[in-house]
Amino acid sequence: MTAIITATELAEDLAGGTPPVLLDVRWQLSVAKAAGAPAFDGRAEYAAGHIPGAVFVDLDRELASAPGERGRHPLPDLAEFGAAMRRAGVSAGRSVVVYDGGQGWAAARAWWLLHWTGHPDVRVLDGGLPSWQGPLSTDAPVPAGGDFEPAPDAPGLLDADGAAALARSGVLLDARAGERYRGEVEPIDRVGGHIPGAVSAPTNENVGPDGRFLSAADLRDRFKALGVSEEAPVGVYCGSGVSGAHEVLALAVAGIPAALYVGSWSEWSSDPSRPVAVGPDPL
């Protein structure tokens, strides 16, 4: 089962006898929000027009718990996450397709959570809503309740100590922009830089100009050049476990399993006792 789906394939599936559950997870990281500017309103964007049949899912409230010591987007309470997914109509025996406004980060966060908690068939709409050529709807469907019960897969998740260990024993990829990895700028967190031993691997280099993923072969070549091989385990982190999920998705497209450090830099950098590396080199 592939991790992504094209808009053409989605239209065909929606017209079939058993259409997938469709989740709209539009969200944007807003640095301006910290300065008092209005935050991006994904629910309002959804209300203005969405793929027919899609149900809105709020990343900040349903795919994460409140910001705190564990980072800006810590794992949600799994009972609450399961209830939110069931309200959206998610069942274990029915496929799920997730999309966002095109960046892919939010959709990947939903994909990762559902995949990590045991859903067998979740895909992300490659290119997000901009790739959809069909009509949009302003109707808000109320789906029949689903039966999905989260069952987490422990190896797919890293904590701070696990991320530090993986940077030494395997490959830990930093999905943030290169200037944040190098510590040249840090618009959000306490301090700039990266986890010692981590390799810079900006998420935006996994996609083309149209926002769609590079081919599986090109992604494999990219990750191989970053040191990823079949011999070593792979982990990913970012700022708060959102763009990192997109990198885990890119690795999945390439056929490479990877774990996610959900707390990411927002958790790591909040503790002054943890080491910080700066500059272009891992150490």
Give the residue numbers marked as catalytic.
238
In the block, residue with structure tokens 């590079």? 214
- Beta carbons within 10 angstroms of residue 206's beta carbon: 23
In sequence order, the 6+-apart residues with CB closer than 8 A to the CB of 109 are 25, 59, 63, 64, 73, 241, 242, 245, 246
Helix, strand and coil percent figures for the chain, each rounded to 5: 35, 15, 50
As given in the structure block, the two tokens for residue 238 are: 């970012």
Integer Cα distance of 78 and 247 in angstroms: 23
Strands 55-56 and 96-99: unpaired
- What sign has the CA pseudo-torsion 235, 237, 241, 243? negative
From the centroid of its chain, how far is CA 183? 23
CA 259/CA 167 separation, integer angstroms: 12
**CB contact at 8 A, 241 and 110:** no
Distance, in Å, from the CA atom of 236 to the CA atom of 244, rounded to the nearest integer, reads 6
